[in-house]
Every structure is written in structure tokens, then in C-alpha cells.
Amino acid sequence: MATSDRLLGYVESRKNLTGSVCGLAGVGIALTGAAGGLWPLVIAGLYAAGALIAPPERPDTPHFPDAGEQLDALRDDFATLRAYLAEVELPSSSRDRLTELDALVEALLEPGWVSDPEHLHVLARAVRQDVPEAVDTFVRTRWWSRVTPGTEPPERHLERQLSALREEMAAIAAALQEAEELRQQTHTRYLEERGH
């Protein structure tokens, strides 16, 4: 199978096509009688010369998802995360912090807001890694703290982690708000200057 794919690839290659065109020119020369008895060598030589001068094959440029495609995938992952979090038993204070974080992430994932790669990376890391790990670690640690009482309650760490994540998301929201305000001010200045 791999051999037939390679053979088919060569048949369609630039080198073969250019060599074939040059080989056909050799057939034309042979038909005129200019090549004499050496016509097979002329055809083969012209084919080889054409194959050698042909530009090399260029591999296709890889396709990487753009910001919109990345956001679509991230929204799907966020829906999966929400389904997971709905099943986890959390203390009310942690649940409140998680609800605030959830609302902020949901707003940031709305189409048309986040396009900066760094912001997108921070959002993806929060949805795909930070929040699931924080909650899972809490669930595991809480089980062990029941077995060995007297240690620091895992709720405190979870609340601190969720607060830190919310601050990170709030920083993205503030940057987006600042960019929109700057855009609005620039447009106002443009309209005012255009009128004069």
C-alpha cells in the first residue's frame, strides 16, 4: 500500500510532469529524424533533464486552528467541565466562588471577545487544567482529611485557588474592557476631527 502511494505520488509530482513534457519534446525530435538511431537516449536524456530542473515538491502548509476554532473547541470543553462540576459535592462557599468564576469564564467565551493568543491560552489552561485539578484535588484531599482529622481543611485551599483563578479571569475582562474603551475614544476622536 505504501509503495503504491509513493508511486502515485511520483506520477503526480512536478518532477515527473516536467520530465514527461521534456520527454515528449524528445519524441518530437525523434519523429523529425534529428536524433537518428540515438532517439531512445535523446528521449530519456530530455526526461531526466526535465526531472532534474523541475522545482522540488513543497509540502502543504499545516493548518492550525484560528482563534475562532480554538474558542469553539474551548466552549465544548467548558460544557464538559460544567457537567463534571455539577456532579461534584462542594461546600457552599466554594460553590459560590465557583459560580462567580463560571459566569466570568462564560462571558469571556462569548464569540467576538477573546482573540489575543495569550488570553486564549490563559482561558484554555483554566478550563482544561486549573479548575478540574483544583476541584479534583479538593475531593481527594477531603476524603483523606476525614480519615486523618486535625489537618488544615481542604476547603481553604480550594477557595484560595478559585479566588486566584477568578482574579486571572477578571484581569482578562479588564484588559478587554480597556481595549473597547480605547477603541470607543479613538472612534469619537476620528468622528470629531472628520467634522472639522
| Residue 62: pLDDT band with limits 50, 70, 90 | confident
Which pLDDT belongs to residue 2?
65
Position 1 confidence tier, pLDDT thresholds 50, 70, 90: low
- pLDDT tens digits for range 111-128: 888 888 899 999 999 999
- Mean pLDDT of all residues belonging to the chain: 86
Q: What percent of the chain has pLDDT over 70?
A: 95
Higher pLDDT, 80 or 30: 80
First to last CA, the chain: 72
Is the pLDDT assigned to residue 5 strictly greater than 80?
no
141 burial via Cβ count (<10 Å: 0-12, 13-18, 19+): middle
Mean pLDDT of 12-21: 85
Which pLDDT value is given to residue 147?
57
Question: Which of 99, 98, 119, 118 is closest to 173 using CA atoms?
Answer: 119
- Copy the grid coordinates of residue 48: 531526466
pLDDT value at residue 80: 95
- Indicate whether 100 pLDDT > 70: yes
Taking only the tens place, the pLDDT of each residue in 137-179 is 998 888 776 656 666 778 889 999 999 999 999 999 999 899 8
Chain-centroid distance, C-alpha 196 = 45
Q: What does the pLDDT read at residue 167?
A: 95
Of 133, 135, 144, residue with least CA distance to 85 = 135
Give the pLDDT mean for 10-25. 84
- The pLDDT tens digits for 177-188 are 998 899 899 998
pLDDT(97) > 70: yes
Quote the pLDDT of residue 146: 61
